[in-house]
Structure 1
Amino acid sequence: MTNFVYLGLAIVAEVIATSFLAKAAGFTRLAPTAIAIAGYTVAFYFLSLTLRTIPTGVAYAIWSGVGIVLVSAVAYFWQGQKLDWAAVIGMGLIIAGVLVINLFSKTAGH
């Protein structure tokens, strides 16, 4: 597998974990808590594989940036949370930053 596949798997696992963390109610609900813990375990495992060749700062910037946008989308559609225009514009800037790193940075591990 390529490192960006590992990074993608880390992002998906983190998004699932964070989404269920919101449903865990302070770790008082067993199933969402277990899914959140398992998701974070998988996320950190795949992130650690990514860090073999992609610099930590670049990997974390992509992981956190894409994760923010995806968690916000899940929260909007699954949990009914609303976003104002400032949040949408900010997330657009995050996406732009991730694209700049991937398209133009020589440290992105391509």
Structure 2
Amino acid sequence: MNVYVLLLLAIAAEVVATTALKATAGFTRPGPSLLVIGGYGLAFWLLGLVMQRLPVGVTYAIWSGAGIVLITLLAALVYRQLPDWPALLGMGLIISGVVVIQLWSGSGH
């Protein structure tokens, strides 16, 4: 399977797990707690597969950048937690950094 598809799946699993973390109520609710544990387990397993083929720094830059943006979007939709303009600006800078790495850095491949 394509390494970037694996990375996308790892990011999706981590985003679901992190978004569900609030619903665990301190891990007192079994359903969301299982979703968090399973999501993180899947995410880290997939991330380990990705790191066999991509450099750690590049993998983590994409993982964290995409995760920050996607979790913020889901938090806005699910929990009505809207980011202010400095938060949006910061996320834009993170995305810009990931794009620079992917387009112009030799370490991305």
Report the TM range for the smaller structure's normalisation. over 0.9
User: 2:78 aligns to what?
Assistant: 78
Considering fraction of residues, name the structure with more helix.
Answer: 2
Give me the TM-score of the superposition, normalised by structure 2: 0.97
Q: For 1:32-47, what aligned pairs fall within 5 Å after superposition?
A: 32-47=32-47
User: 2:8 aligns to what?
Assistant: 8
Q: Which amino acid aligns with 1:69?
A: V
CA distance in 1, matches of 2:14, 2:74: 12
Does the residue aligned with 1:107 lie in a helix, a strand or coil? helix
User: 2:93 aligns to what?
Assistant: 93
Q: How many residues align?
A: 109
Unaligned runs of 5+ in 2: none
Stretches of 4+ aligned residues off by more than 6 angstroms:
none
Give me the TM-score of the superposition, normalised by structure 1: 0.96
Superposition CA RMSD, Å: 0.6
CA distance in 2, matches of 1:95, 1:22: 25
Q: What percentage of residue pairs aligned between the two structures are identical? A: 50
CA distance in 1, matches of 2:104, 2:33: 39
CA deviation string 1:44-81 (max 9, x = no partner): 01100100110011101110111000000000011110
CA deviation string 1:15-70 (max 9, x = no partner): 00000111111101110000000000110011001001100111011101110000
User: 1:54 aligns to what?
Assistant: 54
CA distance in 1, matches of 2:86, 2:12: 25
